[in-house]
Structure formats: C-alpha cells, structure tokens
Amino acid sequence: MRAVLGELIGWFGDPAHWTGPTGVPQRLLEHLGYTALALACALVIALPIGALVGHTGRGGFLLVGLANGLRALPTLGLLTVVVLLAGVGLLPPIAALTVLAVPPVLAGTYAGVRAVDPAVVDAARGMGMREHQVLLRVELPNALPIIFGGVRSAALQIVATATVAAYVAMGGLGRYVIDGLAQLDYPQVLAGAVLVAALAVVLDAAFAGVQRVVSPAGARRSRRGRAGRVSAVRATEPGGTPG
Amino acid sequence: MIEFRAATKRFDDGTVAVNELTLTVEPGGITMFVGPSGCGKTTSLRMVNRMVEPTSGTVLVGGRDVRESPRAVLRRGIGYVIQQTGLFPHRTVLDNIATVPLLSGWPRRRARGRAAELLDLVGLPAELGRRYPAQLSGGQQQRVGVARALAADPPVLLMDEPFSAVDPVVRADLQDELLRLQQELDKTILFVTHDIDEAIKLGDRVAVFRTGGVLAQYDEPAALLGRPADDFVASFVGRDRGYRALGFLPAKGVPVGEVATVRLGGSVAAARDALRDGWAVVVDEARRPVGWVSASRLSGVDGEAAVSDELVESGGSLYEVDSPGGRAGSLRGALDAALSSPSARGVAVDADGAVVGSVTAHDVLRALADARQAGEVPS
Ligand SMILES: Nc1ncnc2c1ncn2[C@@H]1O[C@H](COP(=O)(O)OP(=O)(O)OP(=O)(O)O)[C@@H](O)[C@H]1O
Ligand SMILES: [Mg+2]
C-alpha cells in the first residue's frame, strides 16, 4: 500500500508528466473539452424537448420512459456500436457521452417546468402573455434551479465517463488509464483515476458556486421546498410525474 | 359591460360547470358571484377573459364577443386577480406590477413609473417595490396582485376569491381598501367569493349560484336579504339575514341621547358625580371613547385618585352617526353598538371619532317600526 502511494507521488512528482502532448495539463484540457462538447450537445437536444413537454404537459410519460431507457444503455457498448457505424474519431465518444448526459438534463428540465406553481402560470396567461412568453419569461426562469441540478449531474457523469474516449484512440485523462493498463504501469493507471476523481470534485464545487449565484433572489426563500424536489426527481424517475 | 348569453361549460369529463348562464353586468360597480364550492363561479369568471371557452353560448365584453379578439390582446385589457396571487417569484414587486404595461409595449421607464404609482395607490410603501413577492406578507402580496391587475388601467377587473387566503382582520382591511379604490377608479368589477358576508359588504349586485352552475338569484344585496328567491337562497344567505338586512337601512330616525363623559386621568370624585344611571363614557383629550366606568367599579376607590386604565371597562362597537360626506350609519351599526356596550347604551361618534351621545336598542327598534310603518322598509 505504502509502496503504491510512494510510486503515485513519484509519478506526480515527475516533471516529464506535466509537459508536452501527453502531460497532465494537455490531457486535462482534452478531457474538459470532451465534457463541454458532450454537455453542449445534450443541452441542445434535451433543453427544448424537456421545456416543451413540461410546458404543454403532453407526452410526459413518454419522456420519462425515454430518459430511463437511455440511462439503461451501457456507454461502452454504445461507443462500440457508433465506432462500427461511423469509424473512429471524435464523433463516437461525443455521441456516447451525449446519450449519457441527455436523461438528467431532460428529466431536470421537464420536472423543473412542471414544478412551477400552476397559479403563477395561470396568472401569466391571464395577464395576456402568449404561450412562448409564458415559457420563456415565467416557467424557465422559475425552473432554473432544478434544470441546473440536472445539468450538474449530467456534467459529473460525463467527466467520470469521458475516459472512454481513450478506447477509441482519443485523448483525455482516460489515456493514462488505458495506456497504463496496456503497459502494466499501475502508478500511471492510478494517477489517471485520481485525476478524474479530483476533476469531478472540483467541477461539482464550481457548479455549486454557480448555482448559488444564478438562483434569483426572489426564489431563494421559497426554494427550500423545491430543492427537495430535485433529489426526489432523481430518486423516483421510474415513477416520474406523467403530465 | 359584461354579458353572458346562455353561456354553458361542459368539461371533457361531462361535468357541467356552468349551465345556460344569462346575466348582464352593468358598467361600473362591483358584481359579486357567490355560491357553494363547485357551483361554477370560477368557470363563469374565466369565460370572460377566455381562460375557459364556453361549450355553447357567448360572452360579450363592452358589447363585443370575446372571441373576436386574440386571447392575449383581450386579456391585457382585463385585470385578473386570483386567490393564490400568482405573483412571479423571480421578479421584484415593481416588475410584477409592470407586467401588463411591458407586454403592451410601454417603454421600461414609463412602465416602472406607472408601477410605482400603483404601489402607492394600493397603500404600499415605495421601498417594497424592490422586494421579491416571497418577502411580503399575504395581505401585501394580495395588494400587489390588485396593483398588477390595475397597471394598464383596464375598464374591467376580474377577481377570484382574492381575499380568502388572509386572516379576517387583514381581509376586512383589504375589503375597505377595495371599496375606496373603486370609489376613485369606478371600474366594472366581477368578484367571486364563497363568503356571503363579503358579497353583501362589497357588492352593488350579487349573483347567487346553486350547484350545477345555475343562477339562483341576481339582485341588490338588500333585496337578496329581504326577498330571497327561494329556500336555497334563503338558507345560503344565512340565519341572521333579518339582522344583517338592518345594515342597509339608514339610522336617521334613531334619536341620539345624551351621555355622561369623564376624562381619562380626571379625578374619581368628579367621575362619581358625572355618572348617569351608574355609567359614564371615558374619553381622551380629543373626546374619543376609551371605554366605560361604572358606579360599582368606582365604589371604594379613593376620590382623590385619577381615573386610570384599570378602572375602565372596554366598550362595545361604535356607532358612527350621519356625518357630512361620510357614509350614513345604519340601523345595524346602531343596534350592534347598543347590544355590545356594557352599559346597554351604544356610543355614538362623529366622523372624527369623538363622542356625540348614545343610542339604546329600544330606540333602534322603535325607529325600525316607524320606518316600516312609513313604508320605508322593503319587504
Ligand atoms: N378543468 C376542469 N375539468 C373538469 N372539471 C372541472 C374543471 N374545472 C372545474 N371543473 C368542475 O366544474 C365545477 C365548477 O368548478 P368551479 O371551479 O367553477 O367552481 P367554483 O364555484 O369556483 O368553486 P370554488 O368555490 O370551490 O372555487 C366543479 O364541479 C369542478 O369540479
Ligand atoms: Mg373557484
């Protein structure tokens, strides 16, 4: 145990591991790049669908089922399928990671919009807002904390899983794990795992900070009840709340 | 101003919420929709701004079928206040109030300025404008709801149980405030409540609905109390409707008798001399009543001592006599003052709250009998 720890510290202490195309900074950037790209794709797909289904209340049951179905797909299997279809390159890992990130964003957006007080939505309509105004000016701003919760959990899942990119000859922190395994260089494997875990922790803390800043002041007092609902959504997705 | 023509609403599950409602709301004045829970009041109200579309029949506002204008445009011209307030939690109070002006394309500055005016109009301090709805009390939130509905100065105001979620004291305040606002603004207000007392207090006309969405009676409050159309209305209007009907009869025939008064802080000996029939009203320096002192309460107290709070018995309700510009006192007010007073004499005050005399229940009932004989009491 002690020996392993020493070797790990030795690995991190080696200046060669901190420079060049295989150095930690470069791998970290790649890893973050994949994460950002996959998250962006997931947002583009899941936000509008979740918002629309939440707003109309139609198809909620279908949406929850779909989200759970996607969640059940094994990322590695999916990656293999995409590689077989599209060849190696950036597309397969990003596609696989996007599929991973869509369910939490979708569920968060849908649940967030549904959780907006119906009286508030009723008043918005009664004041003479058009449907898109109701969604953009009232429902989404009030759903933001729950949506953000979904995005946060999606981002964490991507960061943890983006190691798969290395399977298809791409970069990222996963390289240390894959290469280390291939070369039977266990300190390197361990260093890769530690880096991924550390990145996840830092990212989560960053999200928590942003969440505090973006939550609108007016909602803070009434938010306590809703924050509870975020975790409820995560825990009870199978039951969900069909529209 | 608002006209229902055989308006019917049948929901998809077969529930008939409103059944062939035909009713005309005259411009100006407050019209109350009242009835037991589930009788279709809210549904009827929401047909006016097309939050609900009638299954058959039509609704007209200002002589035009509401279906002629697009929903959003129609609604911006009709104020809407609901029980849960529906204030936008993510917007400040001022921005909430400015909602409809902004939707109607007013420049931001002007909309904000207008919102500040309304905040003042509904009796809220300007500082509250920067707060968020969650930082207000229920009563304040309801005032903001009213201000928001009035922001674009719509001729028609729809109010769905706006005051039923606040405590009775705040509710009475809000009701008085609405009456004051209405005197100033003269809107056509359609107001839903399940509280018959609220309906009678606020309404110029009251529509009583029965379960199944059928209109049972549409009348002025005094007529509703005096001549209920049938047993349902009679029982809905309530047990003591005879007593409450006195609220609509002016007390001009009730003689205001003299009453002994003593100053708070004056000597007990002087108070003893002043007593009349064993009682005197204790007043402050502006002659406003503080309570009563009685012979029995003063007996055994040193004559040199001052009349202090401990010696004062709290009084009953006050009867405000006819005052120039003010509202005439009613027989109900006079009778209640007499019945609730420890001395059996109701304290009569003028518009400034100063004691002018007293009334007895006997005098009130005699005035009622006289008015009845003179044919002044509708029956
Ligand atoms: N969207 C709906 N779908 C089906 N039925 C409805 C719907 N909205 C109202 N109803 C039914 O229509 C009837 C009238 O409802 P409405 O809300 O107009 O009553 P209300 O007089 O306002 O009652 P309350 O005093 O409880 O507010 C009720 O039986 C209600 O259950
Ligand atoms: Mg109702």
Residue B132 with chain A: CB contacts under 8 Å: 216-219, 221
Give the C-alpha separation, A116 to B252, whole Å. Answer: 55
What mean pLDDT do residues A30-53 have? 96
Characterise A57 by phi-psi region: left (phi > 0), alpha (psi -120 to 50), beta (else). left
Mark yes or no for CB contact A117/B72 under 8 Å.
no
B310 band by pLDDT with thresholds 50, 70 and 90: confident
Domain region containing A21: 2-239
Q: A55 vs A210, which has greater pLDDT?
A: A55
Give the C-alpha separation, B17 to B108, whole Å. Answer: 41
pLDDT of A222 higher than 50: no
Give the C-alpha separation, B67 to A228, whole Å. Answer: 42
A159 near A75, Cβ under 8 Å?
no
What is the count of structural domains for chain A? 1
Six token digits for residue B266: 């004056």
Average of per-residue pLDDT values in chain B: 90
Domain(s) of CATH 3.10.580.10: residues in chain B: 261-373
**CATH 2.40.30.10 holds for B261-373:** no
Query: What's the gap in Å between B38 CA and the centre of ligand 2?
Result: 7
Regarding an ipTM greater than 0.85, the answer is no
What digits encode the pLDDT tens for the residues B120-155? 999 999 999 999 999 999 999 999 999 999 999 999
B205 near B219, Cβ under 8 Å?
yes
* Most informative mutation of B21, B39, B84, B215 for ligand 1 (most atoms within 8 A of CB): B39
Helix (H, G, I), strand (E, B) or coil at A185: coil
Closest CA to B40 of B65, B15, B5: B15
pLDDT of A218 higher than 60: no
Give 3-state DSSP helix, strand, coil % of chain B, rounded to 5. 40, 25, 35
A219 band by pLDDT with thresholds 50, 70 and 90: low
Question: Which residue type is seen at B29?
Answer: G
Cβ atoms within 10 Å, residue B71: 17
Helices (H), chain B: 41-48, 71-76, 93-97, 99-103, 108-121, 138-150, 168-185, 196-202, 221-226, 231-237, 241-245, 268-274, 295-298, 331-340, 361-373
Give the C-alpha separation, B243 to B248, whole Å. Answer: 10
- Ligand 1 atom having least distance to the Cα of B194: 25
Test mutation, B71, B88, B128, chain A, max A CBs within 10 A: B88
Question: Which residue type is seen at B379?
Answer: S
pLDDT of B50 higher than 50: yes
Tell me the nearest-neighbour CA distance from A133 into chain B, angstroms: 9
Give the C-alpha separation, A33 to A30, whole Å. Answer: 5
Question: Which residue type is seen at B239?
Answer: R
Question: Mind spelling out the 3-state secondary structure of B305-340?
Answer: CECCHHHCECCCCEEECCCCCCCCCEHHHHHHHHHH
What digits encode the pLDDT tens for the residues A188-208? 999 999 999 999 999 999 999
Residue B86 with chain A: CB contacts under 8 Å: 117, 119-124, 126
pLDDT of B378 higher than 80: no
pLDDT of A235 higher than 80: no
Six token digits for residue B304: 């040199």
CATH number at residue A49: 1.10.3720.10
Domain(s) of CATH 3.40.50.300: residues in chain B: 2-239
CA distances to A114, A139, B248, B348 from B293, rounded to whole Å, are 63, 62, 32, 17
A223 band by pLDDT with thresholds 50, 70 and 90: very low
pLDDT of A232 higher than 70: no
CA atoms within 13 A on the CB side of B334: 30
Q: Is B90 on the interface with A (CB under 8 A)?
A: yes
Q: Which fold has domain B2-239?
A: Rossmann fold (3.40.50)
Q: B318 vs B74, which has greater pLDDT?
A: B74
Cβ atoms within 10 Å, residue A143: 26
